[in-house]
Structure 1
Amino acid sequence: MHTSSRHRLTAAVALSTLVAVTGSACSSGSGSASAGGADSGTYTVWDPYPQFDKASAWAKLLDACGAKSGVKIKRTAFDTSDLSGKALLAAQQDNSADVLVVDNPAVSTLAEAGVLTTTDENKLDTSAVDANLLAAGQSGGKTYGTPIGANTLALYYNKDVLKKAGVDISSVTDWTSLTAALDKVRKTGKKGITFSAIGTEEGSFQFLPWFWGAGAKLTDLDSDEAAAALSLWQDWTKKGYAPNSVLNNTQTTSWQEFASGDYAFAENGTWQLTNAEKAGFDYGVLPIPASGGGSAPAPTGGEFVTIPAQGDTGRYATSQKLVSCLTSTENLHATDTTLSYVAPTGEVRDRQLAAHAELKPWVDAVKAAKGRTSDDLGTKYPRISEQLWKAVQSALSGAQSPEDALAKAQSAVK
């Protein structure tokens, strides 16, 4: 999720961790799309931001892009967990929204169901978007929409805890040096690292940087590389470098542990930056290291702006204008500030960094990030992810060895 304390991070714009946003959706219009023709003066937009009301910068941007395109905008906001189902149902009734802003892992599911148009059909220009971020919205060689922004995971660290343990953060460059730092911290009586290993998508989301950082692939869950990543987490819990609570931790409860001031490190997302400013201790941010050094690919969060298929294809031209307006360089900068995202284009990221140099670790993490449905996994991802988080749970609880847990996971996927 996001970027800087100035960026008004809201935990509700949940990183595409598929974490359901709580609370009821609020709306500035009804849920039905306009039934008018291509020249209809009202275009509908559905988004997963119920926390933003009519007076918000986001709602005002939608209205401004509508005015620029010569139409009125009827916006409906849904909880992230509800939006995909609503979009599928609307498509079956030929009542889709004109513009749909949706969590990136849902794009391939909606595309496979025939809900979305391709960029070839709708003429959206995605040439400025980073390839690793655009990949989350690609399936079968086709692109469905464009990212509105990105967020991902990194390691927050407590400067005081590390200083007292004699750890120089610049020495933490790979798994070996990170584990050595955790050992030093534990010997001072403080705690090492906290993360979320819960048996949900959040657990998979948090494990993926280590999984990918070992060189493992989601199509081969029982590889030696995958076992190395799971063994790392298991060893940390066995040695007390990470608490047993990680088995039940969400990203929120994991953050609360770090905020206590007792931990050296916490794996969490951009969306915690406002909370980090309030924590009451000096903190830093480090991209998650890969096994042998460098930044590990962390999973991308953030939404795609898409154009659903319509019975009246004449509507696409105006929808394309709306999306192009929302994702223009000028508006993208404002939008990513509003939504607390790292921009998906280099030009806008440069502007973000010029204003907030402290975003650099997050920019580096996003540049190394990878979509969960990339590698053309598409709708296979949810099943793979479920088996992955089950394997993590099994290994960390001591029920199975990492190798046995991952072999069982791979077998279940097949």
Structure 2
Amino acid sequence: MNRRDALRMLGLSTLGATALAACTPDASGGGAPKGDTAAKTFGFTSWSLNEEAQKGAVQAIVDAYATAKQVKVDTASFPYNEYLNQVTLKLRGGQVSGAIQLDISWLGALAAMGKLRDLSPQAAKGGYTEVARSSGQFDGKQLGLPWTTGSIGLIANTDLLKKAGVDGLPSTIEEFEAALEKVGKLGGGVVPYAAATKAAQLKDILPWMQTFGSPLLNGEEIAVGDDASVATVEWYKKLYDAKLIAPDVDRFDARALFAQGKAAFYDDAIIARGVVSSQAPDKTLTEKMAPLARPVLKAGDTPRALLWGHVIVVVDGEGGDAAADFASFATSDTATVAGFFEKVKLPPTTTAGLADPKVAGDTFTTDWTEKITKTATPNPFWRYAGYAQIESTIAEQVQAVLVGQSSAKEALAKAAETAKGLQK
């Protein structure tokens, strides 16, 4: 998997000013739906139809539905890195209708345009897990049906931990630090925790801030800079100074270190197994990979993780009824979602789908779902079109602390002040 593929699968892209402008609220978006909502022809827009690894599996779902329901589905696709910009511009101009695949981090941006159908009736009968259903909710409405739901979480190399004398997987911050210190004594270029330390990926510190007790956002008030987030950054700095985490590491560096057997822990999405497998000289490494719940501040706390995944939304207009039914079929029909998992290894979003033998027999997926995704939550900043800029502002200030240019308190106060101007 190359850098672009990894960005696509993780839902990480750099959106320029044009894309962000296209995501701003559209005052003209309200009113009655345009076109015949009962029409038997509808559109389906998806970046997966533009990707070699998934387009066959996605097209099979489209064809199966069209045949079974005797409808026509007009498909369209754009490359992932251009997708949000293209979709928002076409939606604003009334040039796209029907069902649309979305990264969950983009839902707020499209919802602000006021053109998406409330899919609560479909969600109520879909059998989705609670966390999956929540990924498609915005401002009290069910605007998306979850297609695949995962999370960004911690992965351990159990072989390295065993060599370091670490008994079991750590469940608290105290146990985690103790494990890092033991791994640090192995030497040989091993990085105990290949945590993000480059600004481009330092948003990984946000679930750690939540772990320490920061809500990140209180209503509309930026909470970064509170005592809990300051304590988090000071802890991160302590790990950095003790060489338990390394300088200048992003997701791709971390994957490379882990694949080479040079990192005991790192953060990634559920796609990590496939990525590491393709890079690792040791072809048994994937058998030594273990997903673990993020260590908590004190026993009994709920582990924190960042929600990750895709939803299908529906434009309230031409063919909207059939498009909503298609979105339900693609995301909740058990045979369909289990077959899709078998082909592309993206976890289903329904209880029945997760229980299907094709999925339940995959230990890594079931462990990840139970230990990490079960308590994952959306990034609270996703409600803003400028969420990526807010994350970057925080990341840059955290990096300033790591390299000794600022104290945690001063840096986060500055980040919070800048972020206030990006809440649009």
Aligned to 2:25: none
Contact 2:254 2:266 in 1 (8 A): yes
Aligned to 1:169: 168
Query: Is 1:289 the equivalent of 2:287?
Result: no
Aligned to 2:316: 309
CA distance in 1, matches of 2:63, 2:359: 28
1:269-327 CA-to-partner distances (Å, cap 9, x unmatched) read 211112334521333222222222455221111111000132x4xx2111122112111
CA distance in 2, matches of 1:233, 1:110: 35
Give the counterpart letter for 1:409 in structure 2. A
> Equivalences for 1:368-383 in 2 at 5 Å?
368-373=375-380, 377-379=383-385, 381-383=387-389
1:349-397 CA-to-partner distances (Å, cap 9, x unmatched) read 22255321232331121111011148x9454644532322222222222
Query: Would you say how many aligned residue pairs link Structure 1 and Structure 2?
Result: 379
Displacement of 1:44? 1.7
Contact 2:155 2:266 in 1 (8 A): yes
TM-score of the pair, normalised by structure 2: 0.81
Structure 2 CA distance for partners of 1:344 and 1:264, relative to 1, 3 Å: same
Structure 2 CA distance for partners of 1:17 and 1:297, relative to 1, 3 Å: farther
Structure 2 CA distance for partners of 1:39 and 1:344, relative to 1, 3 Å: closer
Deviates more, 1:191-200 or 1:148-157: 191-200
Aligned to 2:122: 124
CA distance in 2, matches of 1:38, 1:353: 35
CA distance in 2, matches of 1:178, 1:145: 37
CA distance in 2, matches of 1:73, 1:53: 21
Query: Is 1:237 the equivalent of 2:240?
Result: yes
Aligned to 1:7: none
Structure 2 CA distance for partners of 1:80 and 1:218, relative to 1, 3 Å: farther
Question: 2:366 is paired with a residue of what secondary structure?
Answer: helix
1:93-142 CA-to-partner distances (Å, cap 9, x unmatched) read 2121311001001111101112322225xx43345323333333322211
Question: 1:125 is paired with a residue of what secondary structure?
Answer: helix
Aligned to 1:349: 354
Question: 1:335 is paired with a residue of what secondary structure?
Answer: helix
Displacement of 1:151? 1.9
CA distance in 2, matches of 1:164, 1:261: 12
> Equivalences for 1:73-222 in 2 at 5 Å?
73-119=73-119, 123-126=121-124, 128-170=127-169, 172-189=170-187, 190-200=190-200, 202-204=201-203, 206-219=204-217, 220-222=223-225
Aligned to 1:299: 306
1:154-193 CA-to-partner distances (Å, cap 9, x unmatched) read 22222332222111124x1111111111111112213211
Displacement of 1:55? 6.7
CA distance in 2, matches of 1:408, 1:131: 36
Deviates more, 1:55-64 or 1:299-308: 55-64
CA distance in 1, matches of 2:137, 2:260: 41
CA distance in 2, matches of 1:343, 1:386: 31
Contact 2:13 2:81 in 1 (8 A): yes
Which runs of no fewer than 5 residues in structure 1 stay unpaired? 1-9, 21-34
CA distance in 1, matches of 2:106, 2:11: 9
Which runs of no fewer than 5 residues in structure 2 stay unpaired? 16-33, 218-222
Residue among 393, 397, 411 paired with 1:391: 397
Structure 2 CA distance for partners of 1:81 and 1:134, relative to 1, 3 Å: farther
Contact 1:133 1:344 in 2 (8 A): yes
Structure 2 CA distance for partners of 1:255 and 1:53, relative to 1, 3 Å: closer
Aligned to 1:410: 416
CA distance in 2, matches of 1:53, 1:115: 31
What RMSD over aligned residues (CA atoms) do the two structures have, in Å? 2.6
Structure 2 CA distance for partners of 1:216 and 1:342, relative to 1, 3 Å: farther
Aligned to 1:28: none
Question: 2:416 is paired with a residue of what secondary structure?
Answer: helix
Displacement of 1:399? 1.5
Displacement of 1:207? 1.8
1:56-106 CA-to-partner distances (Å, cap 9, x unmatched) read 122111111122222222222222332222122112221213110010011
Q: Percent identity?
A: 21
Deviates more, 1:265-274 or 1:355-364: 355-364
TM-score of the pair, normalised by structure 1: 0.83
Residue among 11, 16, 20 paired with 1:16: 11
Contact 2:62 2:73 in 1 (8 A): yes
Deviates more, 1:384-393 or 1:212-221: 384-393
Structure 2 CA distance for partners of 1:100 and 1:296, relative to 1, 3 Å: same
Displacement of 1:46? 0.9
Contact 1:289 1:296 in 2 (8 A): yes
Displacement of 1:36? 8.4
